[in-house]
Amino acid sequence: METSVQTALNLHCDRDHLLAAIQAADAVVPSNSTKPILTNLLLDAKKDHLEIVATDLQVGLRSIVRKVQVSGSGQAVVQARQLAVILKESSSQHATLLLEGRGDQSLLHIALSDGDYQIPAIIGETFPPVSFFPSDVRSIAINGSRFEEMVRQTVFAMDKDRTSAVLSGMYVAIGGGELVMAATDGKVLCEAIEKREEFSGEPIQAVIPAITISHLQRILGTTQPDQIDLV
């Protein structure tokens, strides 16, 4: 008896937009993990957009593709590197993604003008949840290139030997009309300051771990956002 084929996620979009979103999410995907599902991405096709979710359980990222035609809503968990390489090597203008399930197996079909591909999709295992950007609190906006510059001006002073959790991270403070980023290894101290009225209000201070800053740098380099919102 032939096993019936079920289709779920089905969408068509610009390949460049999809690749940029995949590469941004891939920046936080670990190469190896004791939890194999973390080396994957969650593709979640909604009515009018595609969400791409990645996490290493310390850093979570939701990348959204809005210029997409969704024929079928649904989710697929697939290997991040495989999908990124397929899209990067293609010169196709558009991409079509279709998830098909046959029995206890699922395949994601990727249709491009210069080739068709299939990669296995994981079923039966829940992808770790990643929080949404909070919409019920006040956010502070800063120019994307300026934010990246401030990170770049301070990150090299972090303790490379990681002898201390504090010294191996980046100090970030908002308040008094300033955004301050600072790092030190106990010998060299680097500080970047941006003065803006929007940075007034109740002071906020935090030490961001080195691994999070590393992820952030890769994401900023891949996406080059015009604006960063901080909460």
Is residue 127 included in any domain, yes or no? no
Name, in order, each residue with C-beta under 8 angstroms of 7's C-beta and a sequence gap of 6 or more: 72, 98, 99, 100, 101
Q: What angle do CA 3, 8, 14 make, to 5 degrees?
A: 130
pTM above 0.85, yes or no: no
The pLDDT value given to residue 7:
57
Residues 164-184 as b/e (b if ≥16 CB within 10 A, e otherwise) read eeebbbbbbbbeeeebbbbbb
> Do 20 and 76 share a domain, yes or no?
yes
Same domain, 101 and 66: yes
Q: What was the pLDDT predicted at 159?
A: 77
Same domain, 17 and 84: yes
Given 122, 154, 188, which residue is the final one in a domain? 122
Distance separating alpha carbons of residues 159 and 166, to the nearest angstrom: 9
Tell me: do 178 and 216 sit in the same domain.
Answer: yes
Pairwise CA distance, residues 171 & 212, whole Å: 12
- Closest by CA to 122, choosing from 157, 155, 90, 83, is 83
SS3 annotation, 98-167:
EEEEECCEEEEEEEECCEEEEEEEECCCCCCCCCCCCCCCCCEEEEHHHHHHHHHHHHCCCCCCCCCCCC
| Domain identity same for 84 and 148 | no
The structural domain count of the chain equals 2
The torsion of the CA quartet 132, 25, 141, 211, rounded to 10 degrees, works out to 100
> Three-state SS for 35?
coil
In this structure, are 164 and 118 located in the same domain? no
Asked whether residue 132 is domain-assigned, the answer is no
Residues 17 and 99 in one domain: yes
Domain end marker among 122, 149, 165: 122
The enclosing domain of 193 has a CATH number of 3.10.150.10
Q: Are residues 12 and 87 in the same domain?
A: yes
Is 129 part of any domain? no
Q: Is residue 130 part of a domain?
A: no
Mean confidence (pLDDT) of the chain = 87
Place of tokens 């191996």: 168
Residues 26, 63 within the same domain: yes
Separation of alpha carbons 206 and 120, rounded Å: 40
Which residues face 13 on adjacent strands?
68, 95
Say what the pLDDT of residue 6 is. 53
DSSP state of 2: P
Domain of residue 29 covers 5-122
Q: Is 57 in a helix, a strand, or coil?
A: coil
> If you search the block for the tokens 């979640």, which residue do you land on?
44
Low-confidence ranges of the chain (pLDDT < 50): 1-5
Whether residues 22 and 104 fall in one domain: yes
Residue 135 lies in a domain: no
- Per the domain annotation, does 33 fall within a domain? yes
Using DSSP's 3-state secondary structure scheme, residue 32 falls into coil
